[in-house]
Each structure stands twice: as C-alpha cells, then as structure tokens.
Structure 1
C-alpha cells in the first residue's frame, strides 16, 4: 500500500507513516518497502502478528514483576501469575526471550513468609466495575474469626496498600463508611442502585487513616527528635499522623494493638524519642530495654 494512501487512511501525514513503519521494524515485524510509482509498504508474506506486542523495556518490566510475585507466593501449584508468565514468554521475540529467561534463572526472590493476600479476580473485577459505574454491590464478607456477613455497600474506591486490597465505601448495614479487605470478600454482585460519592472524599486517605488511627485498642503519642520531612521520608505512611512541634521535633500519633510491638518499632528508629502516652507504652519500652540489656549481659 502506498505511503500516501496509508497516511490518508490513518489521518496522518506521510512522515508519520515512515515513523510508524520504523517503529514496527524495531519490534521485529517484517515490513518491506518498494520504491517507485507503484511502490509502497507490505507485511512479509505469511507473517502473523503475535497477540501481544511489547517493547524491550515493557517486556522485561512485566516479566520481572510476574516472576517476583510468583516466587514470593511460594505456592505448590501453578498460580495465575505463573500461567501469565508462561504466556508472556511464548510471545516474546526469541532474542528477548533468551535474555529474559537468563535473567530470571539467576534471580531469586526472598519470600516474606506471609500468606497470599491476592483477592479473587472475579470479585476484584466486579468491585472495580461497580466503583466506576457508581453502582451498589452486595458482598459476602468474612471476618478474621471466620464469621460471615452479607452487606450492601456503595463502593467509593479500591486501594492497594502493603500487598493488600481494600474496598472503601458506605456500608448500609452499619450506616457508615467502612473499608473491607478484598481478599476476605467471598462473593460480590452488582446491584441496580446508583449512588453519588460525597464531595471531596478520598479513598486513599480514608484507608491511611483507618490503618493509622482506626479501631485500635491503644492510641499512642510519641515525640521524635527529627523533622516532619525526614519522618515522612523514613516512616511508612500508616505509622501515624505527624505533627510538627513549635519547639522542635515531631509528635507522631498512632493507633496500635500491640504495645510491645510498638516499643520494638520505636527502638529501631534512628532518632531519640520520648513517649507522651499512654503509660502502658512507657512500661512496654522499659520491658524492651530490660530484654535488650539481659541479652547483652548474657
């Protein structure tokens, strides 16, 4: 097909057609050209386009991400991630396939020992569609103790944090905005009811607040000998709320369940700190210091 005709059909100028052809050739697609009055571009006879076309950078990034997720899961049976990696490998050009496989063969991923928290794909797709279309969903949510409840939720958003997916929305059972672990949702069905997200509502901020100061047993306040910028750079976003002190330093306000765990976390920080409350956290820090001293003396 002549370049002028291609340009007209694509609604671009002939120079753009030449750039497109060059890009296709870089991807390994055999586009031939013939000069002259009856010349033009032709796809090599018998060539079939693969179902997926990726640049070298895109292919390597996808393969590394899939391999890391697959190996970190350490499952005994092939996971959907394993199967996706096999399919990706099949459509890679031979030159790139060999390099990617060589890289993966010498790369190890250290499992973190945690159970897989990947939500059910069908559930996740249903929730995502409902969020986008602003339709209510009926979910079957399983609590940590194994008990299950059925709830109608207006889904405001999906948020991923620390390998976990969270659904944020208005729970009609509790008549309040709640967040649910998506991996604990056994079923999800879209309902015909529509809703409007409250103006200014931020699902990400809601999850951060919930994980930081949610329904925890203890509320702690600790002064840190640093700046807000440095604390924000060093600490996870869910460690706590940061407040600059007029006389220097930062106060971090956190919700915690395990005070001994909070004591260990504070001891690992690179700054001096002072516990402002509660007194039980002071005792937990003292107990941790005593344990460290006993280990050193021993």
Structure 2
C-alpha cells in the first residue's frame, strides 16, 4: 500500500477491528511516521467517520463506540458484476500481485454486502465454472505499473531498469506510448532512446521506473496493441514459415490475429509469414483455416501437412 489513499483506508480497517491504538502502533502497522498517522486520522474525520483521539504521551485513536460502516449499496446486478469481474481478472492473470489483491478486495466487499445478497453471490461463485483455462500471471510491480501509466498519459519520459531474457540488466530511457495486457503479461511499448527505435518491454522484467524531465509526442496513428502483437509474432523461433493462403485479405484478417503472424496481400491471395517452434502445430492451423494454400517454406512443413492428412484419412476410415 504505497499510495496515501490506500493507507488512509488501511487505517480505517485497523480501527474497525475495535479498541484503541496508540499513534506509535498505528505508525508501525502502516509504515509511516506518527505525524502522518495524525494527518490520515484527520482525513477520516473530514469524511464524516467518527475517529476519537486520546491525548497524552501514549495517545492514540479509536472509532466511536457502536460505529459501523453501512452496508455497501449495490444492486444485485452491480454486485454480481463486481464479484465476477474480480474472479475473471484473477483467472486471466490481470491482477498484479499473484491474486492477493483480488482476493482481499473480494473479502472486503463480501463483508459489507447485505447478508441475503452475499449468500446468493457465494452460491454463484461456488457453482460457476469456466471453459477458458486460468492463466498463471507474471505480475509487474504495482509502482512500476502506475508510474508507466501516468507517464504514458502525460507523455513524460521515464528511466527504467530492465533485465533482458538472457539476464543482462541496464538502465534505459523510454517514451512510453501505451500499456498492453496480453496472455497473462503486461507490456509497455514506446521509443527506446538507447536503440533509437520503438521497442516493447515486459513489465515483470522492469525493476524500477521513474519520471524524468521532458515531454514527447506519440506518432500519429500509433496503436500500442498492434505494436505489441506484431513484436511478439516476430520473436525468433525454430522455423520460419511463409505460406500463401488463397483467400482475401479481409477474410484472413478476420480469422488470423496479428499475434500469429504478418499478412500481406499478393496477386494470388494472402501471404502469411510467421514463426513456430513445432511444424505440426502450423500444419493444424492451415488445415483448420479451410482455405487452399501454397507452402513457400520450409519444405519440412509439406511433410507435416502430408502426415496430418494421412492421420485424418485413417481416422475417417476407422470403423467402416
């Protein structure tokens, strides 16, 4: 809880447990000095929460006896939307702290819902199932995420410490054009001053991020999502693939996302260039598209397509 608002709410959570707390005790729990604790208590009082102060050397704070936060005023539809949103965020890997933040938020909301509504939502969460598999998140540091988000919004450069996939660390200056969440990972893309080019960085590999002086302009028409997906599609793999799909560019774009590969219109169709670790997966992709195609490279892909066709014929003939 690095942000002041979060600590003010944390103070309220502590005081709601009941009893009195010394300023020193509260300062230790919140990780701030005693003067800051007094300021946070003043914030709560300004919000109409009855925080009572005890004077003297061992003075402290407590909530007025009998005070309880009112039930959270959500309609059934709103409560279901919030709770399912938290569950979905956890399963998608969107949360930034291995699910701890979503779980604690769910518990807090559950405690203040009206009892009947809380029981109904518990029944929903206990019985619901999902067809999409849960993703294991690779969470970034929350401070890194927030610094980059503010810098991208205000178009302010940042200095980051970054560890590459082969373990080398260094400091870079980046103009962050935007943040993208894809397949359980957070990415930032923008102009890397060291390379003099647009690059994409995984947030879980960024150790620190801090704003620096200056301002930048985002190129007209720049799309962070397209940039990230195109970059991921260009990552080196074992096999470099080029196939001409005998269909239109519009149809190809509707079926093949940018993360799979690059589509280029050619006289006899659409060229798909991509990379793959395994050619059997590429053969299955081509078969699943349902269009005629011509393989440019590699020759080994033709063998995989023939092998897949043989397996399909065998399966179709079985049981005749």
TM bucket by the smaller chain? 0.5 to 0.7
Q: How far apart are 1:222 and its partner, in Å?
A: 1.8
- Greater Cα shift, 157-166 or 267-276: 267-276
In structure 2, what is the equivalent of residue 9 of structure 1? Answer: none
Cα distance change of structure 1 residues 222 and 66 upon mapping to structure 2, 3 Å threshold: same
Q: Give the Cα–Cα distance (whole angstroms) in 2 for the partners of residues 89 and 219 of structure 1.
A: 51
2:285 to 265, 268, 283: 265
Question: Does the CA contact (< 8 Å) of 1:68 and 1:109 recur in 2?
Answer: no
Q: How far apart are 1:216 and its partner, in Å?
A: 5.6
> In structure 2, the residue corresponding to 1:158 is in which secondary structure?
strand
In structure 2, what is the equivalent of residue 61 of structure 1? Answer: 81
| Unmatched segments (≥5 aa) in structure 1 | 1-45
Question: Does the CA contact (< 8 Å) of 1:139 and 1:189 recur in 2?
Answer: yes
In structure 2, what is the equivalent of residue 83 of structure 1? Answer: 104
Q: Equivalent residues in 2 for 1:2-81 (5 A)?
A: 50=70, 53-70=73-90, 79-81=100-102
1:281 to 301, 304, 308: 301
In structure 1, what is the equivalent of residue 200 of structure 2? Answer: 179
Q: Give the Cα–Cα distance (whole angstroms) in 2 for the partners of residues 240 and 151 of structure 1.
A: 29
In structure 2, what is the equivalent of residue 27 of structure 1? Answer: none
| Unmatched segments (≥5 aa) in structure 2 | 1-65
In structure 2, what is the equivalent of residue 195 of structure 1? Answer: 216
1:251 to 248, 253, 271: 271
> In structure 1, the residue corresponding to 2:263 is in which secondary structure?
strand
> In structure 1, the residue corresponding to 2:144 is in which secondary structure?
helix
In structure 2, what is the equivalent of residue 237 of structure 1? Answer: 258
Q: Give the Cα–Cα distance (whole angstroms) in 1 for the partners of residues 109 and 314 of structure 2.
A: 54
Question: Does the CA contact (< 8 Å) of 1:213 and 1:255 recur in 2?
Answer: yes
Cα distance change of structure 1 residues 139 and 258 upon mapping to structure 2, 3 Å threshold: farther
Cα distance change of structure 1 residues 78 and 204 upon mapping to structure 2, 3 Å threshold: closer
Q: Give the Cα–Cα distance (whole angstroms) in 1 for the partners of residues 213 and 286 of structure 2.
A: 49
- Greater Cα shift, 83-92 or 262-271: 262-271
Q: How far apart are 1:165 and its partner, in Å?
A: 1.6
Instruction: Give the number of equivalent residue pairs.
Output: 249
Cα distance change of structure 1 residues 88 and 129 upon mapping to structure 2, 3 Å threshold: same
Q: Give the Cα–Cα distance (whole angstroms) in 2 for the partners of residues 135 and 94 of structure 1.
A: 47
In structure 1, what is the equivalent of residue 113 of structure 2? Answer: 92
Q: Aligned-pair RMSD on alpha carbons?
A: 3.5
Q: How far apart are 1:175 and its partner, in Å?
A: 1.6
Cα distance change of structure 1 residues 234 and 57 upon mapping to structure 2, 3 Å threshold: farther
1:157 matched to 2:178? The reply is: yes
TM-score by length of 1: 0.68
In structure 1, what is the equivalent of residue 227 of structure 2? Answer: 206
Q: Give the Cα–Cα distance (whole angstroms) in 2 for the partners of residues 151 and 235 of structure 1.
A: 34
Question: Does the CA contact (< 8 Å) of 1:157 and 1:203 recur in 2?
Answer: yes
- Greater Cα shift, 185-194 or 103-112: 103-112
